[in-house]
Amino acid sequence: MKANALSMLSAPRGEPLHLESVSKRFGEVQALSEVSFSAEPGEVIALCGPSGAGKSTLGRMISGLDMPDSGSVHLGGLVLSDMAAQQRRVAHMFESLALYPTLDVFSNVASPLRAPSHRGLFNAAEIAAQVEAILVMMDIAQLSKRRPSELSGGQRQRVALCRTLVQSPSLFILDEPIGHLDAKLRHRLRGEINRRQRALDQVTLWLTPDTLEGMAVADRVVMLIDGKVQQIGSPREVYAAPASTSIARLLGDPAMNLIDIWLKQEADGLKVLCNGVRLQVAESFLARLKATGQLRLTLGFPPLHSRLDDPTALAGLRGDIYTVEPFGKYTLVTVEVNGAYVKAKLPAGFQITVGSSVLVGIPTEHVLLFDHESGVLIDEAAAALHNKKTTAPNPLHSEA
Ligand SMILES: Nc1ncnc2c1ncn2[C@@H]1O[C@H](COP(=O)(O)OP(=O)(O)OP(=O)(O)O)[C@@H](O)[C@H]1O
């Protein structure tokens, strides 16, 4: 073994990653549009977004398996996008896994350490020690002699993960690394991999359609929707203030309630309607709605804080119990309000008859307001500033 080469290989210096306006089109599909973000050495970044958002395409642009139409990828002083894939030293775990079908588990995992680029750097004992350690961590050491065709989907996924994590690259890309595992294993490995990657100096990009998983593992979350970066922030920031209804729909389990409301002037005053049903609102909350200056809004609030028939609620909607789902730790109740559905996460053992009429309390202190047309979060401070500056009349002020 060449000591200097090994120490360079086993502990490359962590470098910041920077993507500058990366775009990619496949025929009619604009898979990525001007994607820019940066990551500090050692940061775990979750790249989250629904199926087709462009996560895997972006991963391929970074590792060099595909080239962007425009834009660039930088790692420290290197322009990765000008380099061949094999020079980039990116450890990329593919969603498709891409295992070697004729090699057993051990040889699949050892393959990057035996690659021509590593020739002479590790002796057989060192390779065996590294491979065995990672197989033990993933709980598949007993499968080391099997071929991929003799494994379950979850076992194959763990082999691909081992083959990626055994490397000492400049950057890790993990494309849905735990998606095919059962819940218990997913939970354990999420923690193990997270702990391991956080201890390294390299950037890790964790690609997942499961935003909660991304939030659990990442220092920061990049929300990618329709090939565009819609929000970047810490998990706490994105959860507390999703930039749009598209992002809000991806948060929480179950996701945030989103209901469209209409502020309508009637003979006896300003009323708030949801699907034609009148929302019962306290003056303080009505004032908040009016302050947006908009007649149509989308309200977002988490099911966790919704209560039924709560006399202290500052806002409520009358509807009928649609479903009652006891999940053990809690009961999820869905209420139908004239075709709109509101979910409330209630204590375990909560019972109510389907079809009964209830007032769903809207937890106003947790409500986020979104623009009805664009779905963009209305930042109240910014909106207040904007309203002061604009000369256009506020329709609510004239109607109220
Ligand atoms: N080689 C290709 N040829 C044509 N279209 C492609 C190709 N690769 C990806 N696309 C399209 O680009 C878009 C982004 O795909 P991509 O696989 O990056 O999404 P994703 O966010 O990784 O989705 P998933 O979570 O389902 O894996 C999709 O509309 C997809 O159909």
Query: Which of the pair, 244 or 252, is modelled with greater confidence?
Result: 244
User: Which residue's CA is the nearest one to ligand 1's atom 24?
Assistant: 51
Q: Report the pLDDT value the prediction gives residue 256, as an integer from 0 to 100.
A: 92
At 12, is the pLDDT very low, low, confident or very high (cuts 50, 70, 90)? low
**What does the pLDDT read at residue 347?**
93
Structure-block tokens of residue 330: 């809690």
What would the mean pLDDT of 276-286 be, rounded to a whole number? 89
Please check the confidence at residue 3 and state whether its pLDDT lies above 90. Answer: no
Q: How far is the CA of 201 from the centre of ligand 1 (A)?
A: 30
Rounded to the nearest angstrom, the gap between the alpha carbon of residue 244 and the centroid of all alpha carbons in its chain is 14
**What number does the ligand 1 atom closest to the CA of 49 have?**
21
In one letter, which amino acid is 124?
A
Nearest CA to ligand 1 atom 9: 57
Which residue, judged by its Cα, is nearest atom 8 of ligand 1? 57
Q: Which of 161, 139, 151, 172 is nearest to 103 (CA)?
A: 151
pLDDT reading at 397 higher than 60: no
CA–CA distances in Å: residue 32 to residues 19, 109, 226, 335: 12, 32, 7, 38
What integer best gives the mean pLDDT of the chain?
Answer: 87
Q: What is the pLDDT of residue 380?
A: 59
Alpha-carbon distance 274 to 285, whole Å? 15
pLDDT at 133: 93
**Which of the four pLDDT bands, split at 50, 70 and 90, describes residue 7?**
very low
Share of the chain above pLDDT 90, in %: 60
Contact 175, 209 (CB under 8 A): no
Question: Ligand 1 pocket test: which of 24, 25, 29, 60 has the largest number of ligand atoms within 8 Å of its C-beta?
Answer: 29
Main-chain phi, psi angles of 71, to 5 degrees: 95, 175
Rounded to 5 degrees, φ, ψ at 21 are 50, 50
Cα 255 from Cα 231, distance rounded (Å) = 17
Mutate to test the pocket of ligand 1, among 32, 33, 35, 56 (most ligand atoms within 8 A of CB): 56
Residue nearest to atom 25 of ligand 1 (CA): 51
Q: pLDDT tens, 108-163?
A: 999 999 887 777 778 899 999 999 999 998 899 999 999 999 999 889 999 999 99
The predicted model gives 96-101 an average pLDDT of: 88
Q: Are the C-beta atoms of 35 and 58 separated by less than 8 Å?
A: yes
CA distance 47 to 215: 10
pLDDT at 314: 84
| Closest listed residue to residue 189, CA positions, set 161, 163, 170 | 161
pLDDT tens digits, 323-352: 999 998 899 999 999 889 999 999 998 999
Residue 265: which pLDDT band, with cuts at 50, 70 and 90? confident
Q: Which residue has the tokens 């050491």?
A: 141
- CA of residue 380 to ligand 1 center, whole Å: 36
Pairing of strands 277-281, 269-274: antiparallel
Q: How confident is the model at residue 390 (pLDDT cuts 50, 70, 90)?
A: very low
Tokens 């869905």 belong to residue: 334
pTM higher than 0.90 for the full model?
A: no
Where residue 253 falls among pLDDT bands split at 50, 70, 90?
confident
Distance (angstroms) between ligand 1 centre and the Cα of 178 equals 19
Tell me, in angstroms, the distance from the centre of ligand 1 to residue 94's CA. Answer: 13
**3-class SS string, the chain:** CCHHHHHHHHCCCCCCEEEEEEEEEECCEEEEEEEEEEECCCCEEEEECCCCCCHHHHHHHHHCCCCCCEEEEEECCEEHHHCCHHHCCEEEECCCCCCCCCCCHHHHHHHHHHCHHHCCCCCHHHHHHHHHHHHHHCCCHHHCCCCHHHCCHHHHHHHHHHHHHCCCCCEEEEECCCCCCCHHHHHHHHHHHHHHHHCCCCEEEEEECCHHHHHHHCCEEEEEECCEEEEEECHHHHHHCCCEHHHHCCCCCCCCEEEEEEEEEECCEEEEEECCEEEEECHHHHHHHHHCCCCEEEEEECHHHCEECCCCCCEEEEEEEEEEEECCCEEEEEEEECCEEEEEEEECCCCCCCCCEEEEECCHHHCEEEECCCCEECCHHHHHHHHHHCCCCCHHHHHC
In this structure, are residues 129 and 136 in contact, taking their beta carbons and an 8 Å threshold?
A: no
Among 23, 55, 60, 94, which residue has the most ligand 1 atoms within 8 Å of its CB, making it the best to mutate? Answer: 55
For residue 364, what pLDDT is reported?
87
- Determine which of 105-119, 158-172, 236-250, 374-388 has the lowest per-residue pLDDT on average: 374-388
Which atom of ligand 1 is nearest the CA belonging to 27?
Answer: 4
Å from CA of 320 to ligand 1 middle: 40
Pocket test for ligand 1, best of 57, 173, 246 (most atoms within 8 A of CB): 57
pLDDT at 295: 93
pLDDT score of 386 more than 70:
no
Mean pLDDT of 73-91: 89
Alpha carbons 268 and 172: distance in angstroms, whole number? 62
Count Cβ atoms within 10 A of the Cβ of residue 253 and give its class: 0-12 exposed, 13-18 middle, 19 or more buried: exposed
At 214, the pLDDT band (50, 70, 90 cuts) reads: very high
Give 47: exposed, middle or buried? Use CB within 10 Å, 0-12, 13-18, 19+. Answer: buried
| CB-based contacts of 349, cutoff 8 Å, min separation 6 | 326, 331
The Å distance, Cα 46 to ligand 1 centre, comes to: 18
- Using 50, 70 and 90 to split pLDDT, how confident is the model at 69? very high
Residue 399 banded pLDDT, cuts 50, 70, 90: very low
> How far, in Å, is the centroid of ligand 1 from the Cα of 173?
16
Residue whose CB lies within 8 A of the most ligand 1 atoms, among 26, 33, 94, 180, for a mutation test: 26
Output the ligand 1 site: residues, CB below 6 A.
Answer: 26, 29, 31, 49, 51-57, 95, 209
Q: With bands split at pLDDT 50, 70 and 90, how would you rate the model's confidence at 219?
A: very high
Q: Ligand 1 centre from 55 Cα, in Å?
A: 8
Residue 391 has pLDDT above 60, yes or no: no
This model of the complex carries an ipTM of 0.97
Q: Given pLDDT bands bounded at 50, 70 and 90, which one contains residue 379?
A: low
CA of 89 to the centre of ligand 1 (A): 24
Structure confidence by residue, pLDDT tens digits, 13-41: 789 999 999 999 999 999 999 999 999 99
- Contact call for residues 158 and 138 (beta carbons, < 8 A): yes
Name the residue at shortest CA distance from atom 18 of ligand 1. 54
Number of Cβ within 10 Å of residue 332's Cβ equals 17
